[in-house]
Each structure stands twice: as structure tokens, then as C-alpha cells.
Structure 1
Amino acid sequence: MSEPARHPGRRAGDRPGRVLRRTARRLAGAFGAALVLVSAPPGLPTAAAAPAAAGEVRPAAGSTVTAEYPVTLTIESVNKPTAVQNGTVTVSGHVTNGGKSVLKSARATVRKPWEGKPLTTRSELAGVVARTTPQGADGISLDSPQYALNELGPGQSQPYTLSVAVADLELTTEGVYELAVDVWGSTTDNQRNRPLGIARTFLPYNPTPTEAQPSKVTTLWPLVHAPVLAAQTLSDNDQTVPVLRDDSLATEFAPGGRLYELVETGSSLTGLTWVVDPDLLDTAFAMTKDYRVQKPGTAGNAAKEDNTVRGTGTAAATAWLEKLRAAVAKPGSQVVSLPYADPDLASIAHNAPELEGIDAALGKAATAGRLTVEGRLSVDTRADVAWPYQGYLDQRIASVAQRAGAGLVLVNGASMPESNTLKYTPSATRPIGNGQTALVADQVVTSLFEEDLATPQDQTLAVQRFLAETFAISRQEPQNPRGLLVMPPRDLTAGTAKVLAGALQTAQDGKWVEPVKLDALAGQVTPDPKANTTVPAPTDYPARVRDSELPATDLTATTQIQTDLDTLMQVLTLPQRVRGPFSAAMVRSLSTEWRTRASAGGVYREGVDQYLDELTGAVKVPPKRIITFAGDTGVLQVSVRNDLTQTVTNLKLVLSPSQPNRLRVELPAEELVLPASQSVTLRFPAEAKNNGRVSMTAQLYTTGPDPKPYGDPVVFTVQVTSVTNGVLYVFGGGLVLLLLAGLRFMRQRKRRVVRDDEGDAPLAPSDGPDGDSADGAPAEDPAGGPGDGDGPGEAARTPRDSSADGRDRATSDEKVGP
């Protein structure tokens, strides 16, 4: 009985064959990875090999380069991916001398499968991929055809092409066969004719394609991109102009761009499930009209003509949207809407599951996503689908997805592996409890398309392995078709998409695969009772995936944006201008796409926060230092400035003195209404008790049943110069002068009495106009100063009216300000 491929001892999160790949790298040593053999580990096509430097040999991953086996081979094309009766198979690739000696009398040959028997289990397929050196199980080299090779020095390479008749391969029955190419010859340091290296791939043989029921295969086709639509907008003749953080989508939407090619390739397939980020559609729609792009370094600033440039992608975005609408409208296709901006469920579940408002935000994102996709594409969509990062699931992630309304979860097979006792591949549909269903992607099949298949050898490896795996699955129980999920990565490249499309089309033409949309897989394929339905614990979540999560600090700061935004919304008369762009920007700050762009994500979140602070701070009390308040009572006048382009209301200004026992301030009678780009001065009646400085705090508050502080407080000083104390000084001084005048009067009277008692003494002359006596001496002044006049009827002089510190008093209606 057939069975799925097994990988005992693999660490959590390892893709198929990773352990083998690590072993191969150790064997390769300092050489590194270069040309890719078809015998690379399962599901891990490597990147294109860089050209070798002179004298440098860089063997293929998974191969063994020794003095005994110095040759590496690649299989770069198989002209007939599936064998047919009376047909011919043509294989081509390159031979590279990875050793230190010259290859002599070398020739490339095709091996006939061992005893003409097919590989009947998926474990046998994995076993073929794991081999690194020629073995007897690889079959017997044919005498014909052969490809004679030139003498190859160390590091030299030569292409080859071999065409072999299917009949010469002696395939006995339908199934998957190993197709191997090896090189025989000798080297200058070993003249023995021997096998020098080998490359392997798979060749399905299906002479009677109608006997088995095809597997139902659902393929996800992701259309996502890192957020570029900013919270800022620009007003132009009463029109709102969108602003983007960069113009990268102009290239993506144009022919040759990744998103363009994904739509172009996907439109040729049937039964495809398009997985779309609604934010991408909104951005594309915004680009169909005039839009602006931020200049570098201006992410947190209000958008203006001088810090933005005109976007260049209007025509490309318009054409791309029309192309996408036509593609998703094809019969049999389905559109799945991700929550708006594709928030990172795993980061939220692990780092902020109980964050206030997060469940409501995710629920709104799901609703907004569905409405956006249906509105932009004019199709029905399914919006209750959760796709955690790379499909890795644990109990916390499942819980957050459920609270957000996701009844269906897309899961990587590495998260829910099958038991070794299960001898077949179960269907993808798994009930996981709490009303949720998991669609578990086949781990090996999905891993074939995780990397960018940019080289011919990578592409051939992926296609032939996909055909082999799906063929083997369909023959496990021919009358009991399986339901499989193929889940490529979110950032599916254009080249890999074309390879996947070609593999799907070949398998469909071979009639062992039937493409179906997501609903058909989730609702019509009966779950297998023996399949694994256990959701892993959080401790089993792969550490390498957790390392790229958004930290709790970023998540908390992002949700704080909503609180600050709610406060701003209370005071705006046209809140719709700000609410929509900021609410969307807040969700974009949580996007899963920042996982591989951590630096750009940080800049985006910081820009959103700074811009909200700038908008909030545009309504403010201008800074003050010292203002003077003269008198017992009067008015303090304080200005409030509105630099926004709309009227602001529902605000009040409160002045709070640090010493209310010295300076009491009442609330102003008038309501606070701030016209756009204007200032308003408020009058606060005040009463002073004592002189001196009093610290004053001016704070704006929202009005309503739950007032909240708005913006930052402004602290300034009020210099109190009270009139009451100055008057007391004046009256006190006058009383002293009156007393002194009385004393002088008494003394002068005593003098007259003495003179009268002298009798015949001559009369003293009268005082002069300056108060001098007859003998020219000044008259005595009781206050220690010049005389004030010696007649009892002369009024005493009083000092002028002044404040205590000598400054002029401000009248009660005088404007007080800095």
C-alpha cells in the first residue's frame, strides 16, 4: 500500500530534506552551493549558481564531490514531462568537473530503471532524492544513447543532450519511475573506467489515464504586496489626492512586473483560488487617478507639493485592475479576501492576544476586506479565511483567528504532520474544534514552490517532483480521490508562478489532478477520520518563524494610534477626511508583509504615529512665558490656534493655577470654535489675592460626557501686581504725615507761649517763603527733611499713587499676553 513520505527526526519547522541538506553542505565543505542536481533534497530547489571563478569548483547541493565521484550533473529540461507509449524522452543539462584531475574519455548516459519497476510509495520518492552518489538502485546504464564529452579540466563544464525511446526504458506498468543520467569515464589520477557522477529526476508513466479518479487540488494564488498607501492625503481644488510612501507598484503593475505576471499566468488556469489583500486593490484604485509619492525622509510629515512628487503608475494600475477583474470572473474561479491589509495573526496571538481593542480591529478588517474586494472586483468573495504567516498554526493563533471570525484556517503541513502509522496521504480538510476547519497543505508538494525557481534546473526539479508526488497520491486509493491544498508563499514570484502553472496543467492533462476552488475542497471533500486534527501547542511553534514577529511594543503602539485618533475625531467637523486613511493605516502597520521587511515596517509605523501627532498638535495653545496681571480683578486672555484646514469644535480650554489661593480663574463664557487656519482668543475672568508669580497650566479638553485631555499642556507664568496693597501703602503714608504735622503744630504753639512770656523781647521775624527762620536757619522738620510750612493751616504733601513695585497697573479690559 502506498504511503506518504516520512521524515523521522526532523526539527519543528524544517522543510523536507533539510537535515539531508545540512549533511550535504558539510560534505561539500568550503566549496558552497552551485549548480543544482536533480538529486537535491526534496522540496528544496536551490538558487541559481553563480559563475565559478577561475580554478574554483562549486558542486551542486546534495551531491558528493570526491576523487571517486568528481562530476556534478544537472538536468535542466525534460521535453516530455510524462512518458507516453512509443514516445521519446529528451533530457538535457550540464556536466561539470568538480574534481582536481582532468576527465578523460567521459560520456553521459541514461540509466534504465531497476527491473523496470515503478516507485510505488512517496517514501520511495524521498529515498531517491536523498541519494548523493551513484548506486545500483538507480538502474543500469544504457549502451545507447550516449553523449561523448570533451576532456574537461577542473571547473570546466559542458552541456549535453540525450534522447531515449520510452520502449528502451522498459517501463512495465503505470507509475512514477526514476530517470537518471550519469557520466562514465576516467581521470588522469585514476585510469579505471567507472561512474563519475549522477543526476536524478522523475518520470510519470500513465498509459491508461482514465482508470483512477483524479485528486481534487486547490491552489492558492496570492496577490499581496507590502503596504504603500500612506495616511496622508493632499487637497487639490477640493479634491483629495492619495499619497503613497513609494512608487514600487508602478513597476509591479506594468508588463514584466511581479503582480502583472501573476495575473497574466493565473488567468490561463481553471479552478484557481485567488487570495487577495484588499489594501492592494484600494491602492491600485487610488493609483488610477492622480496621486502623489512621498519624498524620502518625509514619512511623518503632512503631504505638501514640496515634499511629494507625482506618481507614474496611473496607466499601469488601470490596466492591471481591468485584467484582474477579467481573470477572477472566469467560471470555476474563487476569490478569498484576506482581512484588510493582511494583519499578522501570529504576531498578535503570541505578543498581544489580550490587547484592548485588537479583536474589534481584526473584525473590522475582515468586514472592510470583504466590502473592498467585492466593490473593486465586482465578484462575490469569501472573507472568513485566516492565513497565518507561512501557514504555521498553534492554539493561540487558532483562538485569535476564531475571535476575528475566521472559520477556515490555511495551515502548513509541517504544523500538523501525519502519524507514521498512516500509510496514505489524507485529504486536506480537518475539523480542529470550536467550529473551525483547517485546510492542511501537503508539506512536500508545497515546499517545491517556496523559493524563486529562477534557473532551468530548479524549474525542472520542481515540475517533475510535483508530477511524481501528485501521481503517487492519486494511485494510493484510485477510487477514493484525495483533496490536496497547494499553498505557495505570499510573495510568490513570477517565475515560480509560471512553473507551478505548468506543473498543474501537465498533471491536469494527465488526468490525475482536477483543479477545484477552495469551497469545493473545504465543503465537499469528506474529512479523513484518521488524519491529524490536533492543533499544536504554542511551545511547538517554530523558533525561526517566531523570530521575525512584530514585538509587543510595536503592537501596543499601533493600537494606541486608534485611541489618539478617536480623540481627534471628536473635534473635527469633517472627520471623514481623516478617519478612513488613518484607520486603514493603523491596520497596515500590523501587516504580515512586514515580516520580511522589518526596517520598512518600522518606518511606516513611525510615520503614521508622527503624522497623527502633527495633526493633533495643529490645534494648540501657542507657547507663552510670562504675562502680567495688574489689579484685584481683571481678565486673562489666552489664544488657541487651529492650523488644520477644517473648523474645529467640541473643545474647551482650562487654565489651572498652581496656587489658586493667590489667583483664582473662572471658565470663559464663550464656546470654543476654531475656524480653519485661524486663532481665537479666550477671556478668563480672574481675581488676584496676593502679589508675585503664579505658575499657570493651559490644557485643551474635549467636551461631552467623558472629557479627555487634547494635546500637550502649556505652562506659563502670571506676574500678579495687586492694586489693593498699593492703596494701603498710600493711606498708611498719609496717616504718618498727618501725625507728624500735628506734632509740629504742637511744638510751634509752645514756642509762641515762650515768646509771649519774655515780655519786651523783640518780636521774631516771620518765616520766609521757603520755611527759613529769621536767622536764615531752616525750619525744623519732624520727618528729618526740609520744612513743610509753619502755618497750622498748611496741608502736608502726599506721595503719588503707584503700585507696590512701581509699575503701571493694567486696566481690567487690557489684553494680557506674552
Structure 2
Amino acid sequence: MTALRVRRTGLVRFAAGIGIVAALVMALTAPLAAPRAIAGEPGGTPFVQVRIDQVTPDVVTTSSDSVITVSGMVTNVGDRPVHEVMVRLEHAAAIESSAALRTSLDGDTDQYQPAAEFLTVAPDLDRGQQVAFSLSAPLRSFTKPSLAVDRPGIFPVLVNVNGTPDYGAPARLDDARFLLPVVGVPPDEVDDFESAVVPETNKPVWITMLWPLADRPRLAPGVPGGTIPVRLVDDDLANSLATGGRLDILLSAAELATSREVDPGGTVSQAMCLAVDPDLLVTVNAMTGGYVVSDGPAGAAQLPGTPTHPGTGQAAATMWLNRLRALAHRMCVTPLPYAQADLEALQRVNDPGLSSSATHGTADIVDRILDVASVRGATLFPDGPLTSRAVSLLSATEDTVAIAAADFDYHDARISSEPDASGVADTAPRRLSPQVVAAPFEPAVGAALAAAGNRPIVPTYLDSKLSVPIAHDSATARRQDALGAMLWRSLEPDAAPRTQILAPPGSWDLQSDDAQLILTALATTIRSGLAIPRPLPAVIADAATRSEPAEPLGADTSTRGRFDDEITEEIAGQVGRLWELTSALTTDERTGLTGAQYTAPLREDMLRALSQSVPPGTRNGLAEQRLTVVGKTINDLFGAVTIVNPGGSYTLATEHSPLPLALHNGLAVPIRVRLQVDAPPGMTVTDVGLIVLPPGYLPLRVPIEVNFTQRVAIDVSLRTPDGMELGEPARLSVHSNAYGKVLFAITLTAAAVLVALAGRRLWHRFRGQPDRADLDRPEPPHTSRHALQRRRGQPDREEHRV
């Protein structure tokens, strides 16, 4: 600070003296006053904040201007005025390790040297006021201060802000840092081309870039398949798909960078691969047919039946999806895990069907909606660490290459969160199990890319030692850091291996300028000979050739962003019940809707509950919110298949009268059920076997046999073929008039007696003998006797006498 004191005027010294006296007075009279700034580093109390708005040029090449200009703003964010606000550019030596891509952006400033003199931007800066600045410094100079850039590389640059707060001493009040990529050093003078310094291109980097197209889950939870129109929790996706929206910016940047006009040789197209979330495709595809939006709070899980209003993004969804289909036909496409689900948490759920839906079943969704053959064989981890549990999940199925951050193993000596001697993490492929090979990417580079854009992200795979306070940095500074991180390995010929995978987070939120500059930097490295395109299928093929013995990962101790065990246990219970129900469902021949399609959205809801697309601190709360809705829906599905309780009583006329029932299926697909009747002793129920119960009502008559006469209660219930109870059991009141075996014996005895008596009478009549049963009867009348004799053919005695 000696140079600063020399430049001060007498008036400023006098004012500073007055300030010191005033500070002493306040120290005696107001002990709770804010502490004064300490000379050297920014104090604990913020007084000003510096923001970098523009860096020109953002990437230095041999054709760039030889002077760097940095402009921005200084704002008084403290509780008092600040005097003599001055700014200065400072620089540090070129970065030689990947870890320094992050560590140079935080901590002490001992490695920084002045690149120019201090510039006073405001003699006084009151509370809330801000002042603009513009600083310039030559890249190199032998006669005056400069950035000392004498070769290609990545150079840290710092904007230092000094000032004197009221009641304080002169101090460094704030600083802002960024990385300056230098692909080539321009000549000192316009015509002096020999002084230009070009990069070494004899060790190019084989480069692969994943370009994410993903979003947080938007479909409302608890809605089974076949529900039209679909329902979204909010309409933010419509804005994201529309012109100027987040997903439109990402798609537009990829379209432009791989177009024939910009990329005539197709080299950028070869290096890039679209990493698409199948859940986003399912949602956008559903929006093209019209949809509704819940009226509840945005982003909250809404119960079915919540009031809705029509969505506004049908046209935008149709246009965006058509553009994506066209782009997918000319470049690589590969799926992300469904809904960007956390595979470590999914392994704790321990459901093979759900795990397959999150990993190996995703490619089929992409192929069907985009009408392409997506790249298979890779599992992407752009947001979280690759853990031993995730490896176990992947090892249970077919072979795969896990693309994850290089510091995924916190206990491995060869790949560690601590930089090695050269400060470069080992990104060589490594076999983790007989089925899984890891193709790592540089965590510092991934973190720098994640910090770019409107919503900076700190990935959960990043070790705390490499974390920097990105919220303090401006969008421009974060973009510079991303560009520097991208280009570092190609500009550092001694960094090994000579392969690089660029893996931004799934929920990347870039401004249009960010996306354009990042893809321009990718094209620059390829066209300058610093990098060679390496298609994703080549990455998979190269990693699959690893034949060394597997090196299992150690236990992961990271807790940031981890889903609680209560969440995974709840998912395990719910998905188990859902699989039981699904196994009983069949296909509705009228609509073609299958049972698996009907329950698929509910299984997908469980994957959405484990999404890493939401901030780590909100994951468990949002998961619990979604699972509550899904659990209620599953209960409703089980309760929708039931026996209609008549509410009265049945009377059986005989012992073989059937028991009439009515079954109701409130689902959209048929279901196979078994009828369980708990009959009392003396009643036999015939098993009617499996019943295919269509949607709606089905009358049913159950054959029974009753051997008693009394009123009884019968419990009737429905179950799936595997025994899961459906609906509420019904209790029927049945009255039987049957007498059973006793009545049967009496009836037979009476019939036998009746037959015997009738036979005896007929015997006597045929023989013309009077029956004993007629002896006690009175003589029939005369006329009747004569008529009887005539009917028998006997002569009338009176006529004979005549």
C-alpha cells in the first residue's frame, strides 16, 4: 500500500486522520460498531463488491488484440460510505494442474502480481451506489507492467478493489477473478508476425463433449397411463421450449455449431453427443397433444383432481421436438438415466425392474420418440459421483461404460480427491467390475462448466477442496472459467492422458452467448490442431477393451445431496405393491392400453422422486412430497377393484341356489382376480377360478351348497392371482330355507309311502277286489252306483229283472 499513500493528496490524509479520530471516539461510545477493514485482504464485513461484465478478448488467439480489456462495476454493499475506490488488474502464472483451475479462483492472493497501476474510479462511494470501471493491460511488455503472457495457456487474472471505509483504514475490500484462455499469443505489433507464439499441436487431445438436453420433472405425480390430457405441475417448460428459453438456447446452439455452414467438415458433430433425458422427451411428446397445468403452487406435487387450466406450450413443444428429431438424425444421441435419477439411491431401493427402467430401458424411449438409433453402452453421471452402490446396480445387468467424475473414489490411492504430484487427476479408463468400466472426466472441468450460465451449480461429485464460492462471481467470470477449463488440457501438452470428456450437468442453464462461446471454443481447439474429435461410440469401444483385473471402489462417505434411507425404503415398499398390481392387469382390447403402460407413469414417478436435477438441499423434501401423492394413487388403484356391497340380505330358496354378486373394476384396463369366500361350516362354495374383470361392473353367480336353515354372515373379498387383497371385503347377510339331509330323508320316505299305497290300490282294482281303504266308506248313491257299474261293463240288476 506504499504507492497508494504516496499518491494521496493532503486533503485525503486530513480526511483519513479525521476518520481515525472519529473511529476512536466511536470505539469508546459505541462498542458494537462494525469492525474496520484490515489492510491486505478483504475483511469479514463486506463494504464493496466488484462484478466483471466483459472481457475482451474472451479467448486470446494469434489474431486477437494484444491488449486485454476488463470492464465491470463496483457497488457499495456495506453500511457506510467508502472513499478512494481504486481498481487494478493483477495476474498469476499459467495454470499447471487441473486442481488449480478451481483453487486459483479462491484463497489468498500471494501468487498474483500487478499488471497495471491502480485506477481511481470514485473518490467517494455512498451506500448502495455503484460505479463502472474499464481496465486494460498488455498481454506482454518489456517496458511496462503487463499480464506476462509469453506462451499459450490458461492464466488467472484478478481485479483488485481497494478503498477506505468510513472509520477504517485503506484496505483491499474485494476482488474478482477469472481465467484467461490463451490459445496463441498475438504479435507485439501488427506487422510483427514472427513474435506471435502458436501452441504445440504435436500432442492433440482426443475430445468428446456431451451436450445435455434435460429438465427437472414436470409431469404431475400420481397420474396413471392413459389419462388424457396430461397434467403438468407448472408451465415453466413451455417458456423453456419457446424461443429464447433455456432448452431452445441449448438446442439452437447445437444446431448452429453442427450446421454445414459453420461445421462443413463435420468435426464438431463428431466430437459432440446429445445427452437427452427420456423423461423430458416423454413430457414434451405428451405436450404436443395438448395438456393442462395444475392451479396449485408452481413446482409442488399436486394431488389428482386439483383444478387445472390449459397449458400454453403445445405449439412450442411440437416445434422444439421436430427440431430435435432433425438434429438427432445427423449427430450422436445417447440417453441420460431416466429423470436423472440417483443410481446410488436407486441401488438402495433394490428393485431390478425399477433399476432397468432407469438405465437400460431409456434408449428404447429415445429411439421411439426421436425415431433414431441412440448410442447404447454408456451410463452418464454428469451430476453426481460414481459410488460402489451405483457400480453394483450397473453390474447386475449388461456391460456398460460409466462416464463419471475422476474423483469418484475417495479412498483410492491412484484416483483421489487430492491432486497428485502434477495436480492432474487420472482420467484413464479403469475397470471397476467384470461388467463396468469407468471413463472418467476431469472434476475441475466439469465443475467449471456447471458454474457457467444463469444458475451456477456445484456438482455433488466435487470434493470440498476444489469448491469455490461461485455465487460471488459474475456470469461473465464464470463463463471465462468454463472456457479456460475446457481448453486447459489441450494447451498443456504434458497433461496425461491425452483424452478429454466434457460433461456439463443435466440441468445446464446457459445464456445464448455462453452456449455460443463454449461451442466456439470447442471448434477452435479442433480446427487449430489442439484436439481431435472422438465420437462417443469410440469412447465406449476403447473403454470396453480394458482387460486388467477389476478394482472395486471403496465406500463413499459423501453426504451432500444424498437421499435419506427413509425415502428409498418408501419407494421400495410402493414399487413392490405396484409390481404386484401390474402382474394382475391385462390389455384393454378397446384401447390397446396394457397393464404395464397403465402403471408405468407411477414407476416413473418414483424415479422422478430420486432426480438429481433439483438442488441438493431440496431433494428429500421434494421426493417425500411426490411419493405421498404416488402412494395415495396406488392405494386408490387397489381400492378401485372391489365387490359391490348390496347393503341388504339374500334369501336362498334351496340348498343349491347360487350366491349373486356384483364386481366393480374402476381401472382403465382389465384385471385378473380371484374370489375368496369365507363360508361358515355347512356351506360349500365352488371355486370359480381366475376372473378377468373388465372395466366397469360384472354380475356374477357363485355356485354354493347349503346344508342348514338359518341366517349367516359371509365375508367375500377379491385378490390378485398372487394373493394381494383388492378393495374392501364385503359382508353378506344370507338366509337359507334349506333343511339339508333331514329334509331329504323325510322327502324320500314320504315318496316311498305314497308309491306303496298307490300301488296297492291299483292292484286291488285290477283284480276287482275292494280295497281295505274303501271298507269304511259309505255306499255311494244309487245313480252313482249304476253309473259305476256301466263304466265297469257290469249289467244293471234292475234292467236284468225287467
TM-score, shorter chain, exceeding 0.5: yes
Matching residue of 2:391: 398
In structure 1, what residue type is equivalent to 2:332?
Q
Matching residue of 1:286: 286
Matching residue of 1:49: none
- 1 CA distance for matches of 2:36 and 2:708? 90
Residue pair 1:58, 1:98 contacting (<8 A) in 2 also = no
In structure 1, what residue type is equivalent to 2:42?
T
Matching of residue 458 in structure 1 with residue 451 in structure 2? no
Distance 1:672 1:324, change over 3 A: closer
Matching residue of 2:461: none
Distance 1:422 1:184, change over 3 A: closer
In structure 2, what residue type is equivalent to 1:395?
S
Distance 1:340 1:93, change over 3 A: closer
- 2 CA distance for matches of 1:74 and 1:382? 42
Aligned to 1:110, which of 70, 83, 89? 89
- 2 CA distance for matches of 1:412 and 1:93? 34
Residue pair 1:668, 1:682 contacting (<8 A) in 2 also = no
Matching residue of 1:696: 714
Distance 1:287 1:442, change over 3 A: same
Matching residue of 2:116: 142
Aligned to 2:536, which of 518, 523, 540? 518
Matching residue of 1:801: none
- Post-superposition offset of 1:544: 2.2
RMSD: 4.5
Matching residue of 2:657: 635
Secondary structure of 1:130's counterpart equals: coil
TM-score normalized by structure 2?
0.68
In structure 1, what residue type is equivalent to 2:581?
D
Aligned to 1:348, which of 331, 346, 349? 346
Residue pair 2:51, 2:73 contacting (<8 A) in 1 also = yes
Secondary structure of 2:383's counterpart equals: helix
Write the deviation string for residues 690-723 of structure 1: whole angstroms up to 9, x where unpaired. Answer: 53x42311133567xx777654422233345666
In structure 2, what residue type is equivalent to 1:252?
S
Matching of residue 379 in structure 1 with residue 337 in structure 2? no
TM-score normalized by structure 1?
0.67
Write the deviation string for residues 595-623 of structure 1: whole angstroms up to 9, x where unpaired. Answer: 73555544544545544554554443212
Distance 1:465 1:606, change over 3 A: closer
Secondary structure of 2:407's counterpart equals: coil
- Post-superposition offset of 1:79: 1.3
Distance 1:544 1:660, change over 3 A: same
Matching residue of 1:656: 678
Aligned to 1:161, which of 134, 139, 142? 134
- 2 CA distance for matches of 1:140 and 1:647? 74
Distance 1:516 1:229, change over 3 A: farther
- 2 CA distance for matches of 1:185 and 1:348? 53
Write the deviation string for residues 749-776 of structure 1: whole angstroms up to 9, x where unpaired. Answer: xxxxxxxxxxxxxxxxxxxxxxxxxxxx
Secondary structure of 2:394's counterpart equals: helix
- 1 CA distance for matches of 2:631 and 2:36? 49
In structure 1, what residue type is equivalent to 2:314?
T
Distance 1:307 1:688, change over 3 A: farther
Distance 1:139 1:228, change over 3 A: same
- 2 CA distance for matches of 1:680 and 1:185? 88
- Post-superposition offset of 1:64: 1.8
Write the deviation string for residues 114-159 of structure 1: whole angstroms up to 9, x where unpaired. Answer: 7xx64444566555433445x4x4223534x845423223554311
Write the deviation string for residues 489-532 of structure 1: whole angstroms up to 9, x where unpaired. Answer: 2222233x8536523523642544555442344445899999x9
In structure 2, what residue type is equivalent to 1:492?
W
- Post-superposition offset of 1:542: 0.8
Aligned to 2:686, which of 638, 663, 667? 667
Matching residue of 1:219: 209
Distance 1:202 1:589, change over 3 A: closer
- 2 CA distance for matches of 1:232 and 1:124? 48
Secondary structure of 1:554's counterpart equals: helix
Aligned to 1:568, which of 564, 582, 585? 585
In structure 2, what residue type is equivalent to 1:244?
R
For structure 1, list consecutive stretches of 5 or more residues without a partner in the other structure.
1-54, 731-818
- Post-superposition offset of 1:281: 1.7
- 2 CA distance for matches of 1:671 and 1:171? 81
- 2 CA distance for matches of 1:178 and 1:233? 53
Matching of residue 263 in structure 1 with residue 260 in structure 2? no
Write the deviation string for residues 243-295 of structure 1: whole angstroms up to 9, x where unpaired. Answer: 22435333332223332222123333433221112232233222222445566
Query: Following superposition of structure 1 onto structure 2, how do residues 509-658 of structure 1 map, counting pairs within 5 Å?
Result: 509=524, 511=528, 512-513=530-531, 516-524=534-542, 535-538=552-555, 540-547=556-563, 550-569=567-586, 576-591=593-608, 592-593=610-611, 596=614, 598-599=620-621, 601-602=623-624, 604-625=626-647, 627-629=649-651, 633=655, 635-642=657-664, 644=666, 651=673, 653-657=675-679
- 1 CA distance for matches of 2:176 and 2:274? 36
In structure 1, what residue type is equivalent to 2:482?
F
Write the deviation string for residues 640-687 of structure 1: whole angstroms up to 9, x where unpaired. Answer: 133558795865544322x313xx133288996767544414153432
Residue pair 2:487, 2:521 contacting (<8 A) in 1 also = no
Write the deviation string for residues 316-349 of structure 1: whole angstroms up to 9, x where unpaired. Answer: 111011121233334xx42112355554421122
Matching residue of 2:177: 200
- 1 CA distance for matches of 2:476 and 2:545? 33
Residue pair 1:290, 1:311 contacting (<8 A) in 2 also = yes
- With 278-287 and 425-434 compared, the bigger mean Cα shift is at 425-434
Residue pair 1:108, 1:182 contacting (<8 A) in 2 also = yes
Matching residue of 1:684: 703
Residue pair 1:344, 1:389 contacting (<8 A) in 2 also = no
Matching of residue 152 in structure 1 with residue 125 in structure 2? yes
Distance 1:627 1:501, change over 3 A: same
Matching residue of 1:179: 157
In structure 1, what residue type is equivalent to 2:256?
S
- 2 CA distance for matches of 1:308 and 1:155? 43
- 2 CA distance for matches of 1:700 and 1:500? 58
In structure 2, what residue type is equivalent to 1:637?
L
Identity within the alignment, %: 20
Aligned to 1:87, which of 61, 66, 72? 66
Residue pair 1:562, 1:583 contacting (<8 A) in 2 also = no
In structure 1, what residue type is equivalent to 2:200?
E
Distance 1:610 1:245, change over 3 A: farther
Residue pair 1:57, 1:98 contacting (<8 A) in 2 also = no
Matching residue of 1:484: 500
Distance 1:363 1:633, change over 3 A: same
Residue pair 1:253, 1:259 contacting (<8 A) in 2 also = yes
In structure 2, what residue type is equivalent to 1:682?
R
In structure 2, what residue type is equivalent to 1:108?
V
Residue pair 1:214, 1:514 contacting (<8 A) in 2 also = yes
- 2 CA distance for matches of 1:101 and 1:607? 51
- 1 CA distance for matches of 2:303 and 2:368? 30
- 1 CA distance for matches of 2:157 and 2:668? 72
Matching residue of 1:324: 324
In structure 1, what residue type is equivalent to 2:158?
A
- Post-superposition offset of 1:395: 1.8
Corresponding pairs, count? 644
Aligned to 2:233, which of 246, 254, 265? 246
Query: Following superposition of structure 1 onto structure 2, how do residues 712-727 of structure 1 map, counting pairs within 5 Å?
Result: 712-720=728-736
